[in-house]
Structure 1
Amino acid sequence: MLRPDIIWLFSICLILTGCLEKEIVDDINIESVEGFDLIGENEVMGTFVVPVYKADQTIVNETFTSISKLNKDILRNAQKESSAPIVNGSLELVLFNKAMAEKGVIHLVDGLQRDASIGTGLYLAIVEGETREILKQNLGTRGIGDHLFNLLKHNIDRRDVPKTNMHIFLSDFYQKGKDPNLPILMKTEDSAEIVGVAVMKEDKYEMTIPNERLFYFKTLVDKHSEGTLSLKVDGEDEYISVKSIKSKRKFKVKWNGDTPSIKVIIKVDGVVREYTGNKVTPKKIEEFQKLIEEKIISESDSMIKEFKERGVDPIGFGYEAKSRKRGFDFKKWKNETYPTLKVEVEAEVRIISTGITE
C-alpha cells in the first residue's frame, strides 16, 4: 500500500504535467531572426523570418510583417498572417535599423529579456537601411537567420568585432560608467556585410567605428584571440600582415585627491604571415613591433579623445574608476571629470614568429 505522502506527490506531478503547453514542431513556425524598423515617429514595423524546410532538403525563408508600438503587439499582429503559431524559442538574432537605434532600443530589448523562451546569448545588431531589405534575401544554405548569426559569430570569435550579445548589451547598459556597442550590418547587392561597430550612448546610437579602426577598438574594449592586422611599413613601399594575434588589456587608475588618471596597457602577441620586402631579420622584427605599438597608441588616443567629446564611454573608464574609489561621485564624473580625464595608452607588441616569411 502506498504511503499518503507519496500519493500526494504523485498527484501534484500529474497536475503540473497537465499544465504544460505542448507544441509539436510540425505544427508551429519557429522564427530565427527578427528585424525592427522605425516607421514615422512612434510606430515600429517588425519582420519575422521563419525557415521552411523543403522535401528536397533546401531551405527557404518565410517572412511575416506587422506594425505596432509595442514589441509584443508586433508579434501578436504578425500571428494573423501565419497559418501556424510563430514561436521564438530558437531566435538567434534581432536587428534594429539605424533610425530605431538613434531613438533608443531598450524598450524592445527589455521585451526580449522578459521572454523566458529567449536566451541571453541572442545577438543584437544595427542595420544601415531597412532590416526588412536584408531579411528578404535568401542567403546561406540554412536560412538567412543562421547565415547572419554565423557572419557575426565568425567576426567576433576570429576577427575584429568585439564580443556582444543581449546579456553583454544589458550589462553595459545598466552598468554606470560603461556604454554598449553593437555591430552594424549593411545589405549588399547579393548578400550582407559588417561595416563597423556602433557606439551607443546608453541605448541610443551615437557614433560609428568603421572597419579600418575595429582592430584598435577591440584591443581597447575586448581582447583578440585570432586577430589580423595589415600595415604599410613607414617610408617604404612594403607591407606586413600580422595574424594569429592575441591581445589583452589592463587598467591602472591613479588618484590625485579626487582627480583620477588612467593608464591602459595593451599587450599584443602575433605572427608575421606576409611581408612584401626582403628577408625578415631581427632588426626588421623590432621595427615591426615599434610600428604596431605606435599605431595602436595613436589610433587609441584619437578614439578616446572622440569618446570624451561625445560623452560616451564604451571602454568603461567610469566603471574602472568607481570600482577603485569609495564614495565615487558619478554625476561629477560624467559632467566634469570624464571630459578632461587624462588617459595614457601603453602598447607592448611581441612578434613571436615570422611564419612563412622566414
Structure 2
Amino acid sequence: MRRHNIIWVITICLLLTGCLEKEIVDDINIEQVEGFDLIGENEVEGTFVVPVYKADQSIENEIFTAISLLNKDILRNAQKESSAPIVNGSLELVLFNKALAEKGVIQVVDGLQRDASIGTGLYLAIVEGDTKDLLQQNLGTRGTGDHLYNLLKHNINRRDVPKTNLHIFLSDYYQKGKDPNLPILKKTEKSAEIVGAAVMKEDKFEMTIPNEKLFYFKTLVDKHADGTVSLKVKDKEEFVSIRSIKTDRKFRVKWKDDIPSIRVIVSVDGAVREFTGNKVTPKELKEFQKVFEEKIIKESESMIKEFQEKGVDPIGLGYQAKSRKRGFDYKKWKDATYPTLTVQVEAKVRLISTGITE
C-alpha cells in the first residue's frame, strides 16, 4: 500500500513539472534597468536596457522604448520592438525623471511590487533630465545597468547616500508619519553621478538634499558605515577631514498636555583622516569633536525646520511620536502639530583615532 502511494506521488510530480513555463536564456532579452519619462500631461515613455554579450566578451546595450498612458503596461508595448521576449527577472534599477517624480511614482512602483519575478532589493532613483538620455550611454565594462546599480550600491553602503530600495520605499510610503527619500542621478559628459537625495511627499518629489548636506541627512535617516566630512577649525585657516566609522541615532519623545517635544540624539565614532595643521594634540582633538558636534546640530536642526515648512517627514518623527502615544490623531499631527513641533538635536562625537598624525 505504501509503495502504491509513492508511485502516485512520483507520477503527479512528473505531470506538474510539465506545467512550468520554460525560458531558454539565449531566446529571451533580460533587462537590467528601466527608465520612465513624463513626456506630456499623462503620457510616459519607458526605456528598457538589455545587455548583449559579444563573442569577444565585450558588452553592448540594446535599447527598447515605448510610449503609453500613465498606468498602462509600457513594457507590453516595448515587446513589439523586440525579436525575443523582454523579461525583467534580473531587473536591478528603475529610474524616474524629475517631471514624473513631481507628478507621483506610486502607479509605476505599484506595478513593480505586483510582479513576482522582481525582488524587493531593486533600487529606485530619480534623474535630473531624461532617463532616456542617461540610459542611451554605454557606461562601464559590464553594461550600463550594472554600472549604475553599482554606483548606487557603493555610495549607499560606504558613502553618504541613505539606504533605499523597493521594499524600503514602499514601507516608508505606506507608513503614517514617515516619507520616502530617493537618490538623484545626473548625466555627465561621459558617465553619471549622484547629485543629492530627493525627499518625497508621499510619492511625489518635494525637495532636494544637495551633496554637501548628505552626510548630515544620512545621520538623521539612516546609519553611516564609512562616511567622510571636512570641517574648518574655528578661528584658523586649517581644515580637518573626519571619516565616520559608525553613526547611530536615538529618539526621545515626551508628551505634555497633548503636545510632544522630540530630542534626536546623534552619536558618531570617527577618525581623523587628514589635518592641514601640525601634529594633532589631545587639545586639538577635543576642539575637533566640539566643532563637529556643533556642525551636526546646526545642519540637522536647519534641515528639520525646512522639512516642517515643506510638510515632509523623511526622519519619521511622526512615526516616533505615534508609537509613544495612545489615541494618536494623525490628521491633527500633520496639519497642526508637526509644523510647529519643537525638535532638539544633540550630538555626541568620539574621535577614536588620529591615524599617522597620532
TM-score bucket of the superposed structures, by smaller chain:
over 0.9
| Alpha-carbon offset, residue 257 of structure 1 | 2.2
In the other structure, the counterpart of 2:287 is: 287
In the other structure, the counterpart of 2:243 is: 243
Contact 1:36–1:47 (CA under 8 A) maintained in structure 2: yes
In the other structure, the counterpart of 1:47 is: 47
Q: Deviations over 1:282-332 (max 9, x none)?
A: 000010000000000000010000000010000000000101111111111
In the other structure, the counterpart of 2:258 is: 258
In the other structure, the counterpart of 1:61 is: 61
| Alpha-carbon offset, residue 100 of structure 1 | 0.3
Q: Using the alignment, how far apart are the partners of 1:7 and 1:322 within structure 2?
A: 58
Q: Secondary structure at the match of 1:231?
A: strand
The question of 1:177 aligning with 2:202 is answered no
Q: Aligned letter for 1:242? A: I
Q: Which moved more, 1:117-126 or 1:227-236?
A: 227-236
Matches within 5 A, 1:178-327: 178-327=178-327
Contact 2:172–2:180 (CA under 8 A) maintained in structure 1: yes
In the other structure, the counterpart of 2:31 is: 31
The question of 1:22 aligning with 2:13 is answered no
In the other structure, the counterpart of 2:79 is: 79
Contact 1:273–1:357 (CA under 8 A) maintained in structure 2: no
Q: Secondary structure at the match of 1:200?
A: strand
In the other structure, the counterpart of 1:110 is: 110
Q: Using the alignment, how far apart are the partners of 2:38 and 2:70 within structure 1?
A: 12
Normalising by structure 1, report the TM-score.
0.98
Contact 2:185–2:195 (CA under 8 A) maintained in structure 1: yes
Q: Using the alignment, how far apart are the partners of 2:172 and 2:11 within structure 1?
A: 45
In structure 1, the gaps of 5 or more residues are none
Q: Using the alignment, how far apart are the partners of 1:135 and 1:342 within structure 2?
A: 44
| Alpha-carbon offset, residue 69 of structure 1 | 1.9
| Alpha-carbon offset, residue 138 of structure 1 | 0.3
Q: Secondary structure at the match of 2:319?
A: helix
Contact 2:71–2:108 (CA under 8 A) maintained in structure 1: yes
Q: Using the alignment, how far apart are the partners of 1:92 and 1:34 within structure 2?
A: 9
Q: Using the alignment, how far apart are the partners of 1:81 and 1:102 within structure 2?
A: 29
Q: Which moved more, 1:235-244 or 1:344-353?
A: 235-244
Q: Aligned letter for 1:105? A: V
**Identity within the alignment, %:** 80
Q: Using the alignment, how far apart are the partners of 1:70 and 1:309 within structure 2?
A: 30
Q: Using the alignment, how far apart are the partners of 2:291 and 2:185 within structure 1?
A: 31
**RMSD (Å), alpha carbons:** 1.1
Q: Secondary structure at the match of 2:73?
A: helix
In structure 2, the gaps of 5 or more residues are none
In the other structure, the counterpart of 2:161 is: 161
Q: Using the alignment, how far apart are the partners of 2:173 and 2:71 within structure 1?
A: 19
The total of aligned residue pairs comes to 358
Q: Secondary structure at the match of 2:307?
A: helix
Q: Using the alignment, how far apart are the partners of 2:22 and 2:128 within structure 1?
A: 39
| Alpha-carbon offset, residue 72 of structure 1 | 5.7
Q: Using the alignment, how far apart are the partners of 1:112 and 1:190 within structure 2?
A: 30
In the other structure, the counterpart of 2:336 is: 336
Q: Aligned letter for 1:129? A: G
Contact 2:30–2:90 (CA under 8 A) maintained in structure 1: yes
Contact 1:72–1:111 (CA under 8 A) maintained in structure 2: no
Q: Using the alignment, how far apart are the partners of 1:187 and 1:245 within structure 2?
A: 31
Q: Using the alignment, how far apart are the partners of 1:322 and 1:222 within structure 2?
A: 19
Q: Using the alignment, how far apart are the partners of 2:94 and 2:342 within structure 1?
A: 37
Q: Secondary structure at the match of 1:327?
A: coil
Contact 1:280–1:354 (CA under 8 A) maintained in structure 2: yes
Contact 2:221–2:315 (CA under 8 A) maintained in structure 1: yes
Q: Which moved more, 1:6-15 or 1:166-175?
A: 6-15
Contact 1:139–1:147 (CA under 8 A) maintained in structure 2: yes
Deviation above 6 Å: which 4+ runs of structure 1? none
Normalising by structure 2, report the TM-score.
0.98
Q: Using the alignment, how far apart are the partners of 1:251 and 1:82 within structure 2?
A: 52
Q: Which moved more, 1:122-131 or 1:242-251?
A: 242-251
| Alpha-carbon offset, residue 7 of structure 1 | 3.4
| Alpha-carbon offset, residue 89 of structure 1 | 0.3
Q: Using the alignment, how far apart are the partners of 2:247 and 2:60 within structure 1?
A: 40
Q: Aligned letter for 2:327? A: G
Q: Aligned letter for 1:209? A: I
Q: Deviations over 1:46-80 (max 9, x none)?
A: 00000000000000100000001256621011111
